[in-house]
Amino acid sequence: MSTSPVNRLRRLAVPLLALTALLLPTVPVPASAAPAATSAECAPPAAPNVPGARVLSVTAQAKPAGVIESPWFPPIAYPALCEIKVTLTHPGVNDNVLVAAWLPRAGWNGRFQGVGGGGYSMGNFDFGLAMALRDGYAAATTNGGVGDDGLSPASWALGPDGKVNEELLTNFSSRSLHDMAVVGKAVTAAHYGRPAGYAYWNGCSTGGRQGLMNAQRYPGDYDGILAAAPAISMPRFLVADLWGQVVMRQEKVLPTNCEFEAFQQAAIKACDTLDGVADGVLEQPLRCRYDPAALIGQKIQCEGKEITISRATAEVVRKIWAGHPSWSALPKSAPFSVVADTQPGPSGKRVGVPNPIADNWVRYFVEENPDFTLDTVTYRDFNRIAAKSPAKLDRFIGTDNPDLSAFRRAGGKMITWHGWTDPIIFAQGTTDYRDRVEHRMGGAARVDDFYRVFLAPGVDHCGGGTGPAPVDPLGALTKWVEQGKAPETLPAATQSPTGTPITRNLCRYPQTSHYDGKGDPNQATSYHCTR
């Protein structure tokens, strides 16, 4: 049974980390300056000094080894730990922020890891911390004072006056990230009697955006940043995620999800061999020029019935693939199931189901109206919303400043990887940002010295899909930071539907992978990177 789009979004809001670390076990690179340590004590340290904030409480609790279960991912076994919780507030804000740190009782690798969030959740208090602890890290995450509902900011987005709560939005976008780094590193040092040798950020989606914000605004907080599928330019891409819903409503055509899948698969089939091999994965989906009109008149089986693809449905697909001028469009290799989901309504008539994260962004932050609905939004209304969102909110959470000179001066290294079939945060936002960083900071060679981007063909949001996803991007980052070994490629892996192992080496942007024409197309050694 396929996972519904809403459950897929919920999945994103739960793990809240660079999820592809789950594909294969990670093997952390030993930190030579920080040998393993043990600690039998679990006592609350003195309240850390957090600039701009007042610490309200510090507690500590010893916890035994355990296993974190998830309905979507393999279980995570973690060792015994000391959990330290710090609550703080920012004077004049009236907020209550929790920072939680998990510190391994034995086998600490000498490193600290900041754990990123997803959706409207700033952090991950179980799954993400368990993953970091499993690999020997001392780790911390925070709720930023905004709770942990990944799909909706309803509990905090608007103040008593019905306007955007700018202080809590500031917590969510930036301020609480620095507080968490300060607190997490301080309690780690107090617990082990010495500071961590290296500090790393690890996040995907919102966590990827947080990684970029760390590099842009707090360049000294982390030695290495893994910012996967980053939610760059939230005020733009979240509105763009609603374009398909507006198109369907305005054209009064709501195709079934299997009709949309027919167009996606037809495009993949038509463009599959552009990269030299027919494997169901588009290496460069933006090169695909498939015309949806080619499917008009085709008959497909859909929900137990035979459906003939209509001209009106093909036109809706054309408009969705064309996108809105305010942002990049859904790649033709990506599923429609987030941006153009439809379901049978109460009366049996199909209704559009918007991406809840995007819908709530417009509802609460742009329109400041909890009762707002897309049902009456015209193309003209959508133009207004698309312009209003960044004009109003970029200053808080745009996270697209291309000036990373302070991060470079601090000696930081950053890796971003992004799936080319990501149906929520289109990968073009990442490539556009990298291009602008190059323009600002002296070209590709200079930027490659500290910031590298890798695209994963066929991979969905933070993992999944048909293509190979990175096996251990955090391990590649630690080697770069601690051993000076900059990654030329990222090893990636998946399995075919029949269980055949498939490997690739994801190429450093702007290079792409090309089949050599004679080797095993399932093996990375049969491909080379080329411009």
Pick from 414, 462, 506: nearest CA to 127: 462
CA distance readout (Å), 305 to 296, 424, 496: 17, 29, 29
The two tokens of residue 73 are: 């991912």
69 alpha carbon, distance to own chain's centre: 21
Is residue 457 a contact partner of residue 420, using CB atoms and an 8 Å limit? yes
Pick from 12, 123, 124, 22: nearest CA to 75: 22
DSSP state at residue 272: G
Is residue 283 a contact partner of residue 268, using CB atoms and an 8 Å limit? no
Interacting residues of 335 by C-beta distance below 8 A, sequence separation 6+: 260, 261, 264, 421, 423, 460
DSSP E strands, 71-170: 76-78, 81-89, 97-104, 106-108, 111-115, 138-142
Is residue 230 a contact partner of residue 212, using CB atoms and an 8 Å limit? yes
Is residue 490 a contact partner of residue 417, using CB atoms and an 8 Å limit? yes
Q: Where are the alpha helices (DSSP H) in 365-507?
A: 379-397, 405-409, 428-441, 444-448, 473-483
Pick from 228, 312, 309: nearest CA to 264: 309
The two tokens of residue 207 are: 């966590």
CA distance 366 to 360: 9
User: What letter represents residue 120's amino acid?
Assistant: Y
Lookup result for tokens 């760390």? 214
Interacting residues of 57 by C-beta distance below 8 A, sequence separation 6+: 85, 86, 87
| Residues recognised as catalytic | 205, 422, 461
CA distance 523 to 513: 12
DSSP E strands, 95-208: 97-104, 106-108, 111-115, 138-142, 198-204
Is residue 313 a contact partner of residue 216, using CB atoms and an 8 Å limit? no
Strand-pairing partners, residue 192, are none
Pick from 469, 489, 467, 493: nearest CA to 479: 489
